[in-house]
Chains A and B, each alone.
Chain A
Amino acid sequence: MSKTPFLRRHHWLVRATHWLNAVLLLGMIGSGLQIYNAFPHFGIRGEPYLPNPWDDMGFPNAVRLGGWLAGGLNWHFALAWPFAITGFVYLLYLGLSGEWRSILFRPSDLPKAAQMQLYYLRLRKEHPPQGKHNALQKGAYSFIILLGVLSVLTGFAIYKPVQLFWLVAAFGGYELARYWHFWAVWLFVGFSLVHVLMVFLVDPASLRAMITGKYKGRFPSHD
């Protein structure tokens, strides 16, 4: 065992919001799929439905939360509150603490992300230098934050399409807003799978750091 000390890596707010939203997201998706089951299509009735691998397909009981449509709606609109508030608290922390600098993907990160991807494909021998997160991570984390915001916005659009007519119009109308809201789910699922995989494959010490806040692993530098 090396004698390097543990570094303070994640503020308790980051850790708390991370795990809280992970659990809440499961509830949002479970109740969302329960709602989807009531009308498992997208588009205009009487016209061909929009492309959807799960068109006309109900999701199994095991992944649904709520039992039936009313239950799904109640869970969804109840969990939406802590989900949105937790997300907002995290964004507030990111902004006020300056931590956003270690997360935000900027245009200058594009070539660095390419180099990182080449390394993961074993086409580049040396690990590119990085700060707290590498450029691909910045891309992923910036993207998932944006996805969270879009999920909430499309959610509001389909929740109040008449009162928030301007919001629903920005997404191309009610039917399309509902479509984007659904695709966000699969992007979240895809991200989560890759995210968990990378934690265990690349830097398991990061898991301990996200629980205790203290890090002793391969990438000790900070931005």
Chain B
Amino acid sequence: MTDFRLSRRDLFRLGLVAGPASLAVSCGWQGGPLQPQLQAVSRFNDWIGEKLFVSNSRLAPEHPVSERTPPEHFPVYSRTRPPARIAVPEDWALEVGGLVRNPQRLTLAMIQALPRITYTVKHHCVEGWTAIATWTGAPLSTVIALAEPTAEARYLRFDTLDAGYFNGWDLKSAMHPQTILAYAFNDGPLGPQRGAPLRVYSPIKLGYKLTKHLSRMTFTSERPGGFWEDKGYPWLGGI
């Protein structure tokens, strides 16, 4: 007859595995001392993402206007809750500078005079929900071409009218044909909550990368951080 009972040694071995495992997942442990390593892996994943998963010939599918998510079901998020009222100055213009040959100062009228793209695409939030809406704007690649970044420029930093909110993009994603400087949402101009007067929009990145209330674009050689990215969200945010 076989002995069904576990010896003390067997239980000890089981504990060796189960112990640390349960400690790790208990109490919503954030991983305190392991944060730098987690951030390093996140940057490695960004590198893989940039190398393998950014194709400027891969277009996000477009949807019929009938598939739009009712705007009341398409949440607006802001740095603060409730969202701060972002005042747009009378003389607002988009400053384009940094590592460029032709710095620009573009008013809304000038941007709207550039070629325009309209598309109805699916928005992906990092939280896991999606929403379909129509966006209209000038291709970011057109504005980049006007500014003529130098060979050292690898990143684009976006600053906003919301003090303290900023982030950065890889230049390749900025050049993607569906990346636009958007000034219209669904059937009207970009509203205050959606990012007036101008925001970045692109179906190839998660929502938190699509910077609202733009004030300045700066071409840099060093990777810019970002409001959410510096807190730990993945920097590339590409989908």
Q: Report whether chain A binds chain B.
A: yes
Write out the residue numbers on chain B whose beta carbons fall within 8 Å of the beta carbon of A81: 41
Contact B5 A162 (CB under 8 A): no
Question: In the complex, A75→B124 CA distance in Å?
Answer: 20
Shortest beta-carbon distance from A185 to chain B in Å: 13
Alpha-carbon distance between A36 and B127 when the two chains are bound, in angstroms: 8
Q: Separation in Å of the B232 CB from the closest CB of chain A?
A: 4
A64 to B30, CA, bound (A): 9
Q: In chain A, what residue has the closest Cβ to B128?
A: A39
Does chain A have a CB within 8 A of B14? yes
Contact of A26 (CB < 8 Å), options: B21, B53, B126: B21
Contact A65 B53 (CB under 8 A): no
C-alpha spacing A70/B31, complex, angstroms: 12
The listed residue with most B CB atoms (<10 A of its CB), out of A30, A46, A159, A205, is: A46
CB contacts (< 8 Å) of B55 on chain A: these are 163
The main secondary structure of chain A at its interface with chain B is helix
Q: Which residues of B contact A22 (CB under 8 A)?
A: 17, 21
Q: Mask for B48-79, Cβ within 8 A of A = 1, else 0?
A: 00000111001011000000011011100000
Mask of B121-132 contacts with A, CB within 8 angstroms, 1/0: 010111111110
Contact yes or no, A45 B42, CB < 8 A: no
Given the interface pairs A23-B21, A45-B131, A162-B60, the reply to whether A174 lies near B122 with Cβ below 8 Å is: yes
Kindly report which residue of chain A lies nearest to residue B129, judged by CB atoms.
A39
Q: Is A6 an interface residue (CB 8 A)?
A: no
CB distance A65 to B25 under 8 Å? yes
Q: Which of B5, B127, B131 is close to A38, meaning CB atoms less than 8 Å apart?
A: B127
Inter-chain CA distance A163–B61, complex, in Å, is 11
Interface size class of chain B, counting residues whose CB lies under 8 Å from the partner chain: 35 or more
Tell me the A50-68 residues at the B interface (CB within 8 Å).
61-68
Interface 1/0s, chain B 1-43, versus A by CB < 8 A? 0111111001001100100111011111111000001110110
Residue from B2, B131, B203 within 8 A of A162 (CB atoms): B203
B231 at the interface (CB under 8 A from A): yes
A-B contacts, 26 of them at CB < 8 A, read A27-B24, A44-B130, A45-B69, A45-B130, A62-B28, A65-B29, A67-B28, A69-B233, A70-B233, A74-B39, A74-B41, A77-B234, A78-B37, A81-B41, A158-B128, A160-B239, A162-B60, A163-B204, A165-B58, A165-B61, A204-B4, A207-B6, A208-B7, A208-B10, A216-B2, A218-B2
- 20 further contact pairs, Cβ within 8 A, besides A39-B129, A67-B29, A70-B232: A26-B24, A30-B24, A38-B126, A62-B27, A74-B31, A74-B39, A74-B41, A75-B31, A77-B42, A77-B234, A159-B239, A161-B239, A163-B54, A163-B58, A165-B61, A174-B122, A174-B130, A178-B128, A211-B10, A216-B2
